[in-house]
Amino acid sequence: MKAELLEAEVWEEASKGMRLSFSQLSAILQAEASSLPALTRLSRMVKRRFRGGFISYSRKVFIPLTRLCRNACKYCGFHLEEARPGEVYLKPRQVLSIAEAGVRAGCFEALFTLGEKPEEKYSEARRELRRLGYSSTIEYLYECCRLVFKHTGLLPHSNPGVVDWEELKALREVNVSLGLMLENASSRLCEPGGPHEFSPGKNPKLRIEVIENAGRLRIAFTTGILLGIGETVGELAESLLTILEIQRRYGHIQEVIIQPFRAKAGTPMEGYPEPSPLQLKKTIIAASLLYREAIPVQTPPNLSKPEELAGLVEAGIDDWGGVSPITLDYVNPERPWPQVEVLRRASEVWGFPLKVRLPIYPKYVVEDSGFLPEAFREAVERLTDRLGYVREELSLGA
Ligand code: SF4
């Protein structure tokens, strides 16, 4: 389909409140580079009209609670195959010292990232949990989230992996929002030879159930797509549509991350081709046009080159995700966070001022819709302006 025709068709349908179809999404995902100027223009128009005129980010510290994991995703550079005895989990003192450093650096978010249920696979994890006085990683995570908020005021956001209803319900008490990447809705990627062959937790049915349960529990939730791990265009389009379907039912998805696969040395997929900047832009455009007012689109700035960042704004993103002034991205440690000034310039090139947000999106702060857990209400209200972003005087220097 010619880009101009697609542009006219998509704009007309957006104006009438209609959604992109599977075939329109597929056409965007396969568009030629020559179509990009028309598509990016359209995507930015949609972003500005339906999702507002700012680009945001969250100032965070990254707390890698444990790097053992029951899964073994073939692209993952975060999980460890073994840990030294007694060092499976960060201890409360270590967790608090990272969080305190975050407060000193002007952060508002404590991002807990961890391997999924390592106690199911590693006896050392079970032993260490017992010594700490907990029966599961999620119980221990609960306690660390509670401690961090109580002692530092940082707002916890955890990526706990696949969890059941009761675990999710408990985590809601001590997290202002939670996250779980869908990555892809295709179970084909879990088959022998696929990237999730040895990752029971990457079964998309399980992940969709967690995301839906979060909706039922009214948890502001982050999910997303991992782009370029062997999915087809059809599987990518289906995955984007699956997230929209869930959002229509529950309204809790605060952002969709479009995360490009990056090859890590020493992993089974170290020689696998990475998605190109063009593929990333087309996927952002597809998400932006599909989700329209329904869900903001995020992409992590440290997974693209600094000179490519303005192009991601051009494609219609709303957010740069969590950016840390002090801790590494432990999932992509070879890729440091860009400076905030670099993000500001890239955003302003296309006329979008940069704003600091909390780990719970502004919409869920300003709308009294039951997503903001009571325990955080006072802190969140103290930190935010009438639009739900971090108050200007507190963002200074951020
Ligand atoms: S990507 Fe996540 S789930 Fe997969 S092995 Fe790494 S830490 Fe575990």
Residue 19 lies in a domain: no
pLDDT in tens, the chain (398 residues): 566 667 777 777 766 667 899 999 999 999 999 999 999 999 999 999 999 999 999 999 999 999 999 999 999 999 999 888 899 999 999 999 999 999 999 999 999 999 999 999 999 999 999 999 999 999 999 999 999 999 999 999 999 999 999 999 999 999 999 999 999 999 999 999 999 999 999 999 999 999 999 999 999 999 999 999 999 999 999 999 999 999 999 999 999 999 999 999 999 999 999 999 999 999 999 999 999 999 999 999 999 999 999 999 999 999 999 988 777 676 777 777 778 899 999 999 999 999 999 999 999 999 988 999 999 999 999 999 999 999 988 875 54
78 in contact with ligand 1, CB cutoff 6 A: yes
201 in contact with ligand 1, CB cutoff 6 A: yes
Distance 173 CA to ligand 1 centre (A): 25
Report the CATH number at residue 151. Answer: 3.20.20.70
71 in contact with ligand 1, CB cutoff 6 A: yes
Residue 192 lies in a domain: yes
Task: Give the predicted TM-score (pTM) of the model.
Answer: 0.95
In angstroms, rounded to a whole number, what is the distance separating the alpha carbons of residues 69 and 116? Answer: 5
What are phi and psi for residue 264, nearest 5 degrees?
Answer: -110, 130
Residue 38 lies in a domain: no
Closest by CA position to 178, among listed 205, 207, 152:
207
Residue 21 lies in a domain: no
Provide the number of structural domains found in the chain: 1
Distance 78 CA to ligand 1 centre (A): 7
Q: What is the DSSP letter of 56?
A: E
- State which residues form the domain around 357: 45-384
Residue 16 lies in a domain: no
Residue 188 lies in a domain: yes
Residue 125 lies in a domain: yes
Give the tokens for residue 121: 């696979």
199 in contact with ligand 1, CB cutoff 6 A: yes
Residue 302 lies in a domain: yes
User: Cβ of 276: how many Cβ atoms within 10 Å?
Assistant: 12
Residue nearest (by alpha carbon) to ligand 1 atom 1: 76
